Amino acid sequence: MQRTTIEELLKTARSRIRRYEPTDVATAIGEGAVLVDLRCQDDRAREGRVAGAVPIPRTVLEWRVDPDSPWKDDRVANPDVPLILMCNDGYSSSLAAATLVDMGFVDAGDLIGGFRAWKAEGLPLV
């Protein structure tokens, strides 16, 4: 089996998902998308949060979005609802969104540049 680099893995993942600029997220949420904050609790406490984002650590994402999972989170466990994933810098969110596409969430995407890009744009935090 041939080895795949992380850059190749990211390129493939990103070719399969919708990517959102920070300034486009509010519009998408207004149209029904849900922003999911994959960052750990410590990062959210230290750096701030985006109002309305659903906090779900990356380590349990698949269990929370699967409608058949006993650990589902009803805020995100609907494959018909667009999900926008946000991590710190926009890397792990790309990989996670591609996984959700594999799970049938055809409108899964991520925030380009992650939380830090959101913050750099001066967008609101709580």
- What's the confidence (pLDDT) of residue 18? 97
Q: Is residue 126 part of a domain?
A: no
Rounded to an integer, the average pLDDT of 4-16 is 97
We report the CATH number of the domain holding residue 97 as 3.40.250.10
Q: Is residue 97 part of a domain?
A: yes
- What's the confidence (pLDDT) of residue 36? 98
Whole-prediction pTM value? 0.96
Q: Is residue 125 part of a domain?
A: no
Q: Is residue 43 part of a domain?
A: yes
Look up the domain containing 97 and give its range: 6-120
Vertex 104 angle, CA 103 and 108, to 5°? 90
Q: Is residue 52 part of a domain?
A: yes
Task: Count CB neighbours of 99 within 10 A.
Answer: 17
Instruction: Please tell me the total count of domains within the chain.
Output: 1
